[in-house]
Amino acid sequence: MKKVMKAMSLALVVALVFASSACKKSDKKETEKETEATAAQTTYPLEITDGYGTKVTIKEEPKKIVTCSPALTEIVYSLGKGDCLVGRTALCNYPSEVANVPVVLEDMYAPNLETIVAAQADIVLVDSMMAPDAYEELGKLGCTVVSFLDETKVDGVYGRIETLGQILNANEEAAKVVSDMKAKLDSVNEAIKDNQMKPTVYYVVGFGEGGDYTATGDTFVNDILTKAGVENIAANATGWVYNVEDLVARDPNIIIIPAWADGMFQTTAPYSELTAVKEGNVIVLESTDTLDRQCARNADAVEMLAKLIFPECFEAEKAA
């Protein structure tokens, strides 16, 4: 009988130990969930170092935002903070709701800083489109200014989005935007990975008597072209400048041009003699915003170009 009681006591102790352990694990999981939830909320005051290396203290969650860049405006909307915008540039045109936001910056190259200050924003977001001296002056005028310098890779945009998510207390939204971008890029890569053809491409930024300009290897657009599965003939050049003689010599398979150049480019020598022009392999983009602006729509740009250049790789998607 004593042996039975001893065995029962031992079983009871073991059961209690397991129960206690289970409770601790449960408590740990709950704690982890609470920690994750807390991590998703920005704690203010928040100190960050911006693109120019300036340490900026954001005292509380910004409720009134001015964006001095179309790209940053797009990111603000993608984070669900469009309702907080109280000022924008005249170039901001996406999404369509931005038309309801007052324009406080008409000229990027000669900004009227007084109109920006008058918006009384909690934070002013700028990028490389604004001159450094204007950025510094805004700070002297009492604005809380955060700068974002240009990236050279699409991956760098993830950091832009995540940093803005932290600043605006939209961390979860930022994580989702980045996750969606990565998923779209992975999908494109999967679709074209077995494609043996890697056509050469030239992206027209400017041409003619004023000089030839394109997305050289040190530019952000070059990375978009690369991710779309093509070979940029200007990848070895730098500074957006290209030699027309090299363009003719390389004679790319495909030319990509903005809508404003359509017709003029194809009928102007020596561009008219390019094989791509003669064979009609010219892609005309109604808008280059998704390529030029460093924002969430860059993944859309990669997908768009890949589908235009390799339509056969996406036939199954169309059928579905």
Residue 49: how many CB atoms within 10 A of its CB?
Answer: 11
Q: On the CB side of 185, how many CA atoms lie within 13 Å of its CA?
A: 20
pLDDT value at position 109?
84
The continuous run of DSSP H or E covering 65 comes out as strand 65-67
- Cα–Cα distances in Å, from 78 out to 162, 170, 173, 297? 12, 10, 8, 10
pLDDT value at position 318?
61
| Angle, helix 155-167 to helix 171-192, in steps of 10 degrees | 170
Inter-residue contact 67 to 85 (CB < 8 Å): yes
Please name which of 101, 34, 41 lies closest in space to residue 68, comparing C-alpha atoms.
101
Rounded to a whole number, what is the distance in angstroms from the first to the last CA of the chain?
Answer: 72
- Class of the domain covering 46-181: alpha beta
Cα Rg, the chain, nearest whole Å? 27
Q: Which amino acid is at 172?
A: E
Could you tell me the two tokens for 308? Answer: 């235009």
Token pair 């903070």 is found at 81
CA angle 242, 292, 270 (to 5 degrees): 30
Going across the sheet that includes 65-67, the strands are 103-105, 85-89, 65-67, 123-127, 145-148
Instruction: Give per-residue burial for 78-87: e unless 16+ CB within 10 Å, then b.
Output: bbbbbebbbb
Q: Where are the domains of the chain?
A: 46-181, 195-286
pLDDT value at position 320?
57
Low-confidence ranges of the chain (pLDDT < 50): 1-26, 28-38
Topology of domain 195-286, per CATH? Rossmann fold (3.40.50)
pLDDT value at position 196?
79
Q: Can 46-181 and 195-286 be said to share one CATH topology?
A: yes
Please name which of 32, 55, 59 lies closest in space to residue 43, comparing C-alpha atoms.
59
